Every structure is written in C-alpha cells, then in structure tokens.
Amino acid sequence: MAHLPTNHHDVSECTPRTRASYLEDLEDIGYAEDEDDAEAVQVVKTKHGINEACPFLGFPDFDPIRDIVYDVMHVELEGVLKHFLQTLIVHLVEKKICSLDYMNEIIRGTNWSASDKR
C-alpha cells in the first residue's frame, strides 16, 4: 500500500474562530510585541495563525471571520487545499470508500493540459 500522510488534524479538536477570539488573539500578539522579543512574537503569531491585525477592523460592523472573501493564494496556493485533500484521501481510504491505487489510476488516466502538468 502506498504511503498515506499521518500529519492530518482531527477537526473535532478545533474550536471555530469568532470575532471575539480573533480580537483576543490580537491582544496576545500585542502583549508579546510589548515585550520586545522577536522570537516570542513569532511563536505567538504562529500559534494564532495571525501575522497582523486585519486592516478592515476599522469599518463599522466588519467581522474578520464572517466577512472574508475566498482567497485563492492562501487557500489553494499556500497549501491549505493540499492539507484538505490529504485529509480527504486518508478518510476515503480508511473508510474503504475507494483505494489509493484507484485514485492514482484516475489521476494517471486524466488528459491533463500542458499548464496542469507543471
């Protein structure tokens, strides 16, 4: 059997982010920045997955969680889609919905365009 990724996350352990929790996370980052410790700041930013405050927070009634537009660069090109697909494939194989060999057959049998083959 081919290698399956084992680094997938159990989404049942995740708490959905809310506007309030986003603002709390920004406070944590602010506290770390106040300590003037670049390494600590990076640790907190990585923990929360936030590099800086959303510039739209100043708009009335803007919710940084509910009012975000789908972002192709971050969702697809920076690897989120890759992790989603890994999790999906693991699920399909573990539940015996289809085999990894079957999925690979489909991929190999697809008539890809020149731009798809990069």
Binned at pLDDT 50, 70 and 90, residue 113 comes out as: confident
Strand, helix or coil for residue 14: coil
Residue 4 lies in a domain: no
- Check whether residue 46 and residue 81 sit in a common domain: no
Number of domain units in the chain: 2
Q: How far apart are CA 36 and CA 116, in angstroms?
A: 46
- Position 8 in a domain: no
Predicted local confidence at residue 1, as pLDDT: 43
The verdict on 47 and 76 lying in the same domain is no
Residues 10-34: what's their mean pLDDT?
A: 86
Using a cut of 0.85, tell me whether the model's pTM lies above it: no
Handedness of CA 11, 15, 17, 22 (dihedral sign): negative
Are residues 24 and 56 part of one domain?
yes
Q: What is the pLDDT of residues 32-61, one digit of tens each?
A: 888 888 898 999 999 888 888 888 888 888
Do 55 and 93 sit in the same domain of this protein? no
pLDDT of 14 reads: 77
User: Which of 34, 51, 68 is the last residue in one of the domains?
Assistant: 68
Owning domain of residue 23: 17-68
